[in-house]
Chain A
């Protein structure tokens, strides 16, 4: 047989094996979490806060962590959005996208995306101590907002870059200022993209543990003000898994299942919304 053909065969075989391995591992993760987590899930976990001795295997649930995570996720996403919109508008509309300043901003956003969440957590903690606030919902919101801001900016930025320049030029030629162009033309074009960016950032923010570890604290109650500590799902998983009692570990699996489900639902919604919104956009 031809040597070239043999090489081809060997490598094709290797590629199939590695693709198989990678996908088996990834499937195994989802599979294990689903099977293990679903079996240990109960209604009371979803509807109750931890009662006395919960971490020793007694009654209760993790409603506090679910609510805490959702609150931190929603508030930090809103905060990040309020910052991301001006930034992306500025570099794309006021500075015609390709300027040096826009280039540097994109670069620093990319670098910020790579900063690990534990560093944001540590920095958030530093700021909280500087301001004299203890670990609280507010602290968690700030740390997570910092974590997801670069990701959100880059996602919205990509969407804005897809908007045809002619469309904006038409608006300018009709005499609108840049601000009016943004509000009346651009926002309609990219509304779907913004929704997607918000969902992606929310998914990332809700799952992150290291950034809320120092900043949001942990409590057994649902926070009623911004200055109270809040429990979060990733940390609830972490703490429950550290317990030596099998009953409590089971709850960690169930919590991991809940968190994974929330994130998968968001991920599917992003895809569906992406299709729905792209219908009304002028290309």
Chain B
């Protein structure tokens, strides 16, 4: 009887080891799969040409991804430039200046919004941001545009990533010991001086990693960007010009990719490039955040 129980335990253990091992190699499998599928296009073109050429004409077998990589980075950069300072100031205000009640409700609201799907942010962008740019912002600079632009993508993405950035920041600020703040205040520092010299200094690496986390979210934000950036593969002259990002490229062409030779392979390669860029950001941010985890 006792032996039966132990056998059951052993069997359960083996099943669990296998599942855990499987999840540990998923990432490797995804990378390998994408790499294997991008083999044909890598054979035809060399790597540098694929990344740095801006000639994208699948029918001629030209798959230069540069414009797409450029578009992905600029829209993400714009989004982070808009959202990082705003989120930082908001998070400091909520955690240090606001009342407990306000903090509670703000957290609740932010958590709820973090769950709203990207496609809904995209709908909002089309409904509100596009007309706003077309009718108000662009005419200020004397431009007549459709509104589907780098700027629209940047704004929508910046709003989309702000719940995650703010909630990570709040978590980091709340991990700072109260004694530290109190000793600064008791030495006669004003509240803002305490924020500047104690809180921001202590949590600097946490702030950076929160921003990088937001960046990696924005890099992969497919649907919202697809809906508002216009999807024209050129290097934009101004922020009112349309752009085309890697996720949009993949999402837009899934229908045609099997009918043109090498096209599917090129898209798999685009996916691989996107994944590698995001992984770099993500791993950097996680490594920095781990420090806080261990302390908690």
Contacts and interface: CB of A to CB of B under 8 A. Distances in A.
A250 to B, nearest CB: 11
A20 B49 CA distance: 46
Contact of B16 (A15, A29, A94, A266): A94
Contact of B250 (A105, A122, A179, A208): A122
A54 interface: no
Contacts of A33: 120, 123-124
Given A19-B94, A209-B119, A32 B127 contact: yes
Interface residues of B, number: 85
B123 A241 contact: yes
A110 interface: yes
Interface string B223-257: 10011000000000000000000010011001000
A109 B282 contact: no
B64 interface: no
Contact of A28 (B30, B85, B128, B163): B128
Contact of A36 (B15, B127, B254): B127
A119 B220 contact: yes
Interface in B127-168: 127-128, 159, 162-163, 166
Interface stretch (B40-48, B53-61, B175-183, B267-275): B267-275
Interface in B71-115: 85-87, 89-90, 92-94, 97-98, 106, 108-113, 115
B283 interface: yes
Interface stretch (A45-53, A123-131, A186-194, A275-283): A123-131
A177 B13 CA distance: 11
A31 B92 CA distance: 26
A264 B221 CA distance: 21
B33 interface: yes
B259 interface: no
A149 B23 contact: yes
Interface in A7-23: 7-8, 11-12, 14-16, 18-19, 21-23
Contacts of B120: 29, 33, 207, 237, 256, 259-260
B16 A118 contact: no
A26 B109 contact: yes
Shortest beta-carbon contacts, A-B, top 10: A116-B220, A207-B117, A90-B16, A114-B282, A15-B93, A177-B9, A18-B89, A210-B222, A86-B16, A8-B192
Interface of A: 4-5, 7-8, 11-12, 14-16, 18-19, 21-23, 25-26, 28-30, 32-33, 36, 83, 86-87, 89-91, 94, 101, 104-105, 107-112, 114-120, 122-123, 125-127, 146, 149-150, 153, 177-180, 182, 200, 203-204, 206-210, 213-214, 234, 237-238, 241, 252-253, 256, 259-260, 263-264, 266-267, 271
